[in-house]
Amino acid sequence: MEEPSGVVGAGRTDAGVHALGQVAHFDAVKNWEPRRLILALNAHLPSGVSVMNAGVVDDDFHARRDAVLREYRYFIWNAPTCYPHIKPYALWLTGSHYNWKAGSDAARLLVGEHDFAAFCRSADKPENTIRRVKYARLFRRGKLVVFRIIADSYLTNMVRIAVGNLLAVASGRRDENWFLSLLDGTRDRRSSSETVSAHGLFLWKVTYKK
């Protein structure tokens, strides 16, 4: 007899965001051999979702509450032309005027504990907007530009707004001092630049306590 079981994910993402390393847990009614469970789930899931790994965890494991770090990556393709299979997974910028070194320098300012009120969608701003970023880098590999960020938790649209602000610096519309001022706790969402599109963003990895 089939019984429903709720699934708890490690975190939510905006519509259109991809997840390479999403983690979820559920209480199974029967004991499954992990490989058979993977095959059974993938046979019924839609084409855009695949289970890549499965295993038995302790009864008190919680996919969201036990996560200590979450890594996101945002992909930008900076060239006059773009491969069609890349378009759904990267923000395509055709201009050649971007100073990615300036953007990279600004990205490093995100590391540490800051007030990210200016990096949060206004409608979802919580009382506490302080977050701790362990790692933040913007780097270029040929035509591909990647923003990588690791933190314990995030505000709504925080990564996409951060990328928008980095693009404002890289394009020369804003400077590093402006970017730094967004982290001092006196600014709100209106002070930031645009929220970039969701399709370039990936939930890359979720880290748990050992």
163: domain CATH number is: 3.30.70.660
Domain count, the chain: 1
What's the pLDDT tens digit per position in 100-129?
999 999 999 999 999 999 999 999 999 999
Closest CA to 191 of 133, 116, 140, 134: 116
Structural domain includes residue 20: no
Structural domain includes residue 143: yes
φ/ψ bin of 142: left (φ > 0), alpha (ψ from -120 to 50), beta (otherwise): left
Closest CA to 126 of 152, 156, 153, 151: 156
What's the confidence (pLDDT) of residue 7?
Answer: 87
What's the confidence (pLDDT) of residue 18?
Answer: 93
What's the confidence (pLDDT) of residue 2?
Answer: 60
Structural domain includes residue 2: no
What's the pLDDT tens digit per position in 151-184?
999 999 999 999 999 999 999 999 999 999 999 8
Query: What's the CA gap between 178 and 40, in Å, rounded?
Result: 52
Mean pLDDT rounded to a whole number for the chain: 92
Residue 202's domain comprises 68-208
Query: What's the CA gap between 120 and 162, in Å, rounded?
Result: 9
What's the pLDDT tens digit per position in 181-202?
999 888 989 999 999 999 999 9
The residues annotated with a catalytic role in the active site are 14
- 182, HSE (Cβ side, Cα atoms, 13 Å): 26
Structural domain includes residue 58: no
Long-range contacts (CB closer than 8 Å, 24 or more residues apart) made by 169-177: 169/99, 169/102, 169/103, 169/106, 170/98, 170/99, 170/100, 170/102, 170/103, 170/106, 171/95, 171/97, 171/98, 171/99, 172/97, 172/99, 172/102, 175/102, 176/102, 176/105, 176/106, 176/109
Structural domain includes residue 100: yes
Residue 3 has pLDDT above 70, yes or no: no
Q: Please name the residue ranges forming H helices in the chain.
A: 34-44, 100-107, 158-170, 176-181
Structural domain includes residue 36: no
Closest CA to 135 of 157, 154, 109, 161: 109
Residue 1 has pLDDT above 50, yes or no: no
Structural domain includes residue 72: yes
CB crowding 87-126: b at 16 or more within 10 Å, else e: eeebbbbeeeebebebbbbbbebbbeebbbbbbbeeeeee
Structural domain includes residue 45: no
Residue 28 has pLDDT above 80, yes or no: yes
